Structure 1
């Protein structure tokens, strides 16, 4: 793997005004005072705030600079001089190098508490407090991830294919040999990839691999050059050995290697199978996804005579379960290809009471016919940017109950403030343990019109 010729240097002005350089790679001893929202340790030195991956409050660590800007420095722990009694030994030997899991040195219970506190703080900053806090919805600490993207890079000098995950704040590939957060049936598939690709005759055109677990497991290989026929046969044999479907993607869309192959996941308690394609959004934690849907329905308390709106509906993950409880579901999505599969999923289950619409939900919605009707309730599961335009429209429609699922507590808090300013009460809120061992927080909030 090639290395940069010289360390990148960023300039800053310390408190005294004298210019100093702070190169990437510089090491500094720091005393950690508290945790940031994403689980990084926070330290203060020479007028700068340091965010240090792998550090805990009360610890003294040696940290290495990853990036610096203005008065903020991002760093990672390279040595622990004084350890916190709260520190635990990570399950994964690559923890601290791989950028995937950054919280394995923190107990699962403490991770839950940290994320709940993050949600509470973000809401408080916007002047919003729920009437009641829900108990965290907790899932497995490990072996939960049913989908993973694996990086590949051919090192010409070493004539070696690097297989693994991107490093912490880096494009470098950490050659992880096994991944403890992958579901059990994907772990042996992942573990054999390095030997597989290093046995290829022409590995120069390899792009990346994506693994999927569901009713059928699958491996998608993306490539930039056509595969050598011997390599393709070797790949097919590998997939047959591990009983996974093979999908291939060159310049166009992903294609199944054999006719009739489909990707799908089950929502067992709702007797549903959701089909999808590589590239579609699918929640990576199957157990928590189903628990999340069940809690959303419990909080919304849908009735048989009601009309309910599902925004950012995707493949129908919420819309199809909802359709089994209400008179009509209006489901809206901004990605055409996902709507095609959502309609097919509804038809396959003879759920004729769901109507799907295509709309860009970041743009004003006053001219949309579906947005002019009355609804008993609305459910939305937006991306990290939140749903400012959507909640404005829902407030104007005076929808009595709004269930908001969020993967970013900061934008949830912003939108919560908007709703409470327009006559809604935050009835209930809590976190969902969708991404254990990572700094990401999933949350759910129920708003009720006063």
Structure 2
């Protein structure tokens, strides 16, 4: 069996080779804990007569008894999730209204051992008053938050979020993380990513930062401490609402969020299209003096038109979850920029996934 250090070295070698054509400097490597690093986990529920168990299925295979992996615990997940798993299974096994047609569960935890875990119970049946009463009793008994889901139903007993606290360079930031919303599942590596991005930004308080794909403001909050002002964009209404809450909760007053996609922001920058959403928010792109752009795009990378916009900036901080599309984008960006720093963040140990941070400076 491959050890953690061996698999991390394999990733390091792979990424080093991928970046070699771009004359990248030596990788900074940020290892993960080998176990109990995930604050998020989800499982199917396997029923066999009166018995139930947590289950996963072999990758690439149908959910069936042939590919079934039964679980009593999940060492990849946080200690708090592992502690809760048997208690939840035992309690629901003893309650017919909660166990009937229960087929999936999702856990969302935080680094804080004092915080309640958010548990989403998903069913193949309509959830009624009897279910809600039993779920409220379970929520109280286990000291957790519970959400019930079924087709066309979402029942939030108390709240549908947890509040994570991440520390970056000695300052603690609060984040509202919504059920079903995107968050970095490896919170300790996330702290390392945030610290690296802030170091890459340097001290640029006489200039402004543009951020694309900001999500709930994960990078936005700590990066705002290094710039005069920040304009961040995000298309998801849910993520924008979470980002606005996070900005207010952390008492940060130099961030504006524009609900635009990266493609729309590119159109606004070029002047080819005006957006009422910018006008109503009092956002005038001409009033910003941007020195740096921060991007954390989806796996597909940055589209061609947005890439042209990105290339106009003096400094580019690019965080990628896909080395393939990162390198495709770097083929264009390195025509005008050189790679100053590059980092590997091992978000998902013992998988092929690699998170990469790249700082580019205009030549």
Whether TM exceeds 0.5 here: the answer is yes
Residue 148 (structure 2) aligns with: 248
Give 3-state SS (helix, strand or coil) of 2:140's partner: helix
User: What stretches of structure 2 of length at least 5 have no aligned partner?
Assistant: 272-283
Bigger Cα displacement from structure 2, 114-123 vs 261-270: 261-270
Deviation at 1:366, TM superposition (A): 2.6
Q: 1:365 aligns with which of 257, 260, 266?
A: 266
Q: Deviations over 1:83-111 (max 9, x none)?
A: xxxxxxxxxxxxxxxxxxxxxx3211112
Aligned equivalents of 2:314, 2:242: Cα separation in 1: 30
Deviation at 1:231, TM superposition (A): 5.5
Residue 429 in 1 paired to residue 322 in 2?
no
Give 3-state SS (helix, strand or coil) of 1:111's partner: helix
Q: Deviations over 1:310-366 (max 9, x none)?
A: 111011111111222321001111211110111121122222210101222256823
Residue 116 (structure 1) aligns with: 12
Aligned equivalents of 2:39, 2:10: Cα separation in 1: 24
Aligned equivalents of 1:118, 1:253: Cα separation in 2: 44
Contact 1:424 1:447 in 2 (8 A): yes
Q: 1:225/1:308 Cα in 2 relative to 1: closer, same or farther (>3 Å)? A: same
- Whichever of the two has the greater Rg, that structure is 1
Aligned equivalents of 1:166, 1:362: Cα separation in 2: 37
Aligned equivalents of 2:198, 2:146: Cα separation in 1: 36
Give 3-state SS (helix, strand or coil) of 1:365's partner: helix
Contact 1:196 1:235 in 2 (8 A): no
Q: Deviations over 1:278-334 (max 9, x none)?
A: 111110111111111001110121322220011110111111112223210011112
Contact 1:154 1:204 in 2 (8 A): no
Residue 317 (structure 2) aligns with: 403
Aligned equivalents of 1:363, 1:122: Cα separation in 2: 31
Residue 223 in 1 paired to residue 123 in 2?
yes
- The answer to which structure, 1 or 2, has the higher relative contact order (CA under 8 A, 6+ apart) is 2
Residue 128 in 1 paired to residue 16 in 2?
no
Deviation at 1:154, TM superposition (A): 4.2
Aligned equivalents of 1:371, 1:383: Cα separation in 2: 24
Q: 1:191 aligns with which of 86, 109, 125?
A: 86
Contact 1:309 1:377 in 2 (8 A): yes
Aligned equivalents of 1:207, 1:328: Cα separation in 2: 47
Q: 1:253/1:264 Cα in 2 relative to 1: closer, same or farther (>3 Å)? A: farther
TM-score (norm 1): 0.69
Higher helix share: 2
Aligned equivalents of 2:160, 2:354: Cα separation in 1: 34
Contact 2:197 2:223 in 1 (8 A): no
Residue 142 in 1 paired to residue 56 in 2?
no
TM-score (norm 2): 0.84
Deviation at 1:147, TM superposition (A): 0.7
Residue 300 (structure 1) aligns with: 201
Residue 169 (structure 1) aligns with: 60
Q: 1:320 aligns with which of 212, 216, 221?
A: 221
Aligned equivalents of 1:374, 1:253: Cα separation in 2: 46
Bigger Cα displacement from structure 2, 132-141 vs 196-205: 196-205
Deviation at 1:428, TM superposition (A): 1.6
Contact 2:160 2:179 in 1 (8 A): no
Q: What aligned pairs does 1:21-420 form with structure 2 within 5 A after superposition?
A: 105-124=1-20, 127-130=21-24, 132-154=25-47, 158-172=49-63, 173-202=68-97, 203-214=99-110, 215-227=115-127, 232-252=132-152, 254-258=154-158, 262-268=161-167, 269-361=170-262, 365-368=266-269, 374-389=289-304, 390-395=306-311, 398-420=312-334
Aligned equivalents of 1:427, 1:286: Cα separation in 2: 26
Q: 1:364/1:341 Cα in 2 relative to 1: closer, same or farther (>3 Å)? A: closer
Aligned equivalents of 2:109, 2:205: Cα separation in 1: 34
How many residues end up aligned between the 2 structures? Answer: 337
